[in-house]
């Protein structure tokens, strides 16, 4: 028997991805009076930014900026958020884009769950905590992270022991083991793709030996180690919990390399590595910190000054290409660097006890398989119109943030505002009211979402 597809009705805009780009775009469109649906595949909105420690160049706390946006979206009268939901297809049309989604079972009734976490505390099944980059453990049933939105438990069926402990612990009878995936269909006036990025594998370059050494880590792992509410509350190296006293950053460890299919620059790695080095210098004042780089791309407002400040703080910048990382005694690492500014064939070897690889940024989602949206040679959403950098090849479908290519937060937020403006203009044009203020046009075409 074919699964029934539930018609959810009409939304003025559907935003795919609840990271900072999706949240900003959704808020900007909703503030104009339009109805917006955010579709997020994870259990919480917030994207990558909610897991960062601080942000360059201001060193503001990342979650202090992200959490209010998450909360504003969750409480906005014009925004509906669908978490734990995957996009199945987008059929574009002049009368609206038909978006089919699958709502994955959480095995918890979201209406009844009060986020008390008693199920999580009762659960006996342990698994690596994805939010903490595997450094801590979580339970088969849990709220995604402390400031997750929504604050609802999700049960991961693959890890469930079917012991019934959560069922007995839940004070509101919210556990529903019989939930099944639900397919729903939404017709959206416009769509914004804000599906962001992921990092390529830590092992994409075997010469950096990340598969063999727990102390060769991802910058996202270091973000969690540096976060005040991170897994250990301080920086300890993963293999043995030692406080590191010599840390190396290897830039371009997964970008600007034809051989691994990432010929482009990932743009933000120079700056976030400098940021992380400065934060490390603050929390480990005695540590020796070295950044191995090919060239430093400090492209944004205040970024050059930020770089100069890092140098003044005593962070070593060594121009050279890291050729190899080898294991050394006591879980340490030997970094081999081809010194590009010294005589030919000069290779320097330096021992460190923690190595951070700047992995390349690659797209998180490929819309081309399920929609008419084109992707570029780099795999990110193509933006064919230089004058409208948020427009895709499909009228009414726009792109925001890192879904279109590697971007920092400042550019992502500016991009999201531009995409929201284009979506608003598109909706107003469709309503034949391009000369009326967008909010008025929005109100006139707004239709209530079917519940």
Q: How far is the CB of 22 from ligand FAD (least distance, A)?
A: 6
Q: For residues 35 and 26, is the Cβ–Cβ distance under 8 A?
A: no
**Nearer of residues 62 and 141 to ligand FAD, judged by Cβ:** 62
**Nearer of residues 268 and 284 to ligand FAD, judged by Cβ:** 268
**Of the candidate residues 36, 49, 253, 441, the single one contacting ligand FAD (CB under 6 A):** 49
Question: Of residues 406-435, which lie at the interface with ligand FAD (CB under 6 A)?
Answer: 407-410, 412
Q: How far is the CB of 29 from ligand FAD (least distance, A)?
A: 15
When asked if residue 80 is in the footprint of ligand FAD (CB under 6 A), the reply is no
- Contacting range for ligand FAD; rule: CB under 6 A; set: 15-23, 172-180, 317-325, 421-429: 15-23
Q: How far is the CB of 332 from ligand FAD (least distance, A)?
A: 23
Closest CA to 49 of 145, 134, 141: 145
When asked if residue 40 is in the footprint of ligand FAD (CB under 6 A), the reply is yes
User: What's 111's DSSP letter?
Assistant: T
Q: What is the DSSP string of 126-165?
A: EEE-TTTTTSSEEESEE-SSTT-SS---EE-GGG-----H
**Of the candidate residues 11, 14, 17, 235, the single one contacting ligand FAD (CB under 6 A):** 17
**Of the candidate residues 8, 11, 14, 19, the single one contacting ligand FAD (CB under 6 A):** 19
Distance in angstroms (rounded) separating the CA atoms of residues 104 and 323: 43
Residues β-bridged to residue 86: 102
Q: For residues 158 and 105, is the Cβ–Cβ distance under 8 A?
A: no
Question: Of residues 320-379, which lie at the interface with ligand FAD (CB under 6 A)?
Answer: 364-365
**348, containing H or E segment:** strand 347-352
Q: How far is the CB of 170 from ligand FAD (least distance, A)?
A: 27
Rg (CA), the chain: 23
**Nearer of residues 269 and 428 to ligand FAD, judged by Cβ:** 269
When asked if residue 195 is in the footprint of ligand FAD (CB under 6 A), the reply is yes
User: Residue 22 contacts by C-beta under 8 Å, 6 or more apart in sequence?
Assistant: 15, 16, 38, 40, 45, 47, 192, 194, 400, 401, 416
When asked if residue 219 is in the footprint of ligand FAD (CB under 6 A), the reply is yes
User: In this structure, which long-range contacts are made by residues 134-140, counting pairs with CB atoms below 8 Å and at least 24 apart in sequence?
Assistant: 134/221, 135/221, 135/224, 135/225, 135/230, 135/231, 135/232, 135/238, 136/231
When asked if residue 20 is in the footprint of ligand FAD (CB under 6 A), the reply is yes
Q: How many CB atoms are closer than 10 A to CB 235?
A: 18
Q: For residues 338 and 166, is the Cβ–Cβ distance under 8 A?
A: no
**Nearer of residues 125 and 255 to ligand FAD, judged by Cβ:** 255
Q: How far is the CB of 195 from ligand FAD (least distance, A)?
A: 4
The two tokens of residue 342 are: 């010294």
**Of the candidate residues 15, 16, 149, 422, the single one contacting ligand FAD (CB under 6 A):** 16
Site residues (CB under 6 A) for ligand FAD? 16-22, 39-42, 47-49, 52, 55-56, 86-87, 194-197, 199, 219-220, 223, 268, 272, 275, 364-365, 401-403, 407-410, 412
């Amino acid at each position: 028997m074919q699964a029934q597809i539930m018609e959810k009705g009409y939304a003025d805009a559907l935003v795919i991805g609840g990271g900072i780009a999706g949240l900003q775009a959704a808020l900007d469109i909703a503030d104009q009076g339009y109805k917006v649906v955010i579709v997020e595949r994870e259990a919480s909105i917030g994207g990558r930014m909610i897991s960062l420690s601080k942000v360059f160049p201001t060193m503001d706390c990342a979650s202090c900026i992200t959490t209010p946006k998450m909360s504003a979206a969750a409480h906005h009268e014009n925004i509906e958020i669908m978490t734990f939901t995957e996009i199945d297809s987008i059929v574009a049309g002049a009368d609206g884009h038909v978006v089919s989604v699958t709502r994955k079972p959480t095995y918890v009734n979201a209406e009844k769950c009060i986020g008390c976490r008693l199920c999580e505390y009762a659960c006996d099944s342990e698994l690596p905590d994805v939010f903490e980059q595997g450094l801590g453990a979580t339970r088969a049933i849990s709220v995604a992270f402390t400031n997750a939105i929504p604050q609802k438990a999700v049960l991961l069926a693959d890890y469930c022991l079917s012991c019934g402990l959560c069922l007995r612990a839940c004070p509101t009878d919210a556990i529903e083991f019989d939930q099944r995936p639900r397919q729903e269909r939404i017709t959206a006036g416009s769509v914004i793709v804000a599906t962001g990025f992921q990092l390529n594998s830590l092992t994409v370059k075997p010469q950096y030996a990340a598969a063999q050494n727990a102390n060769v880590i991802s910058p996202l792992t270091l973000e969690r180690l540096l976060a005040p509410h991170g897994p250990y509350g301080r920086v300890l190296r993963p293999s043995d919990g030692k406080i590191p006293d010599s840390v190396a950053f290897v830039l371009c460890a997964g970008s600007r390399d034809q051989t691994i299919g990432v010929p482009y620059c990932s743009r933000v790695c120079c700056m976030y590595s400098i940021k992380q080095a400065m934060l490390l210098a603050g929390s480990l004042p005695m540590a020796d910190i070295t950044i191995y780089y090919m060239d430093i791309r400090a492209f944004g407002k205040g970024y050059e000054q930020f770089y100069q400040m890092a140098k003044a703080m005593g962070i070593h910048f060594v121009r050279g290409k890291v050729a190899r990382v080898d294991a050394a005694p006591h879980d340490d690492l030997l970094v081999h660097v081809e010194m590009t500014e010294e005589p030919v064939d000069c290779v320097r070897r330096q021992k460190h006890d923690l190595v951070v690889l700047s992995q390349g940024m690659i797209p998180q989602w490929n819309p081309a398989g399920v929609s008419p949206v084109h992707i570029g040679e780099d795999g990110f959403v193509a933006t064919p119109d230089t004058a409208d950098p948020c427009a895709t090849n499909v009228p009414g479908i726009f792109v925001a943030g890192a879904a279109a290519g590697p971007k920092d937060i400042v550019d992502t937020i500016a991009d999201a505002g531009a995409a929201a403006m284009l979506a608003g203009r598109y909706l107003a044009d469709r309503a034949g009211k391009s000369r009326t203020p967008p909010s008025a046009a929005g109100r006139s075409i707004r239709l209530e979402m079917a519940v």
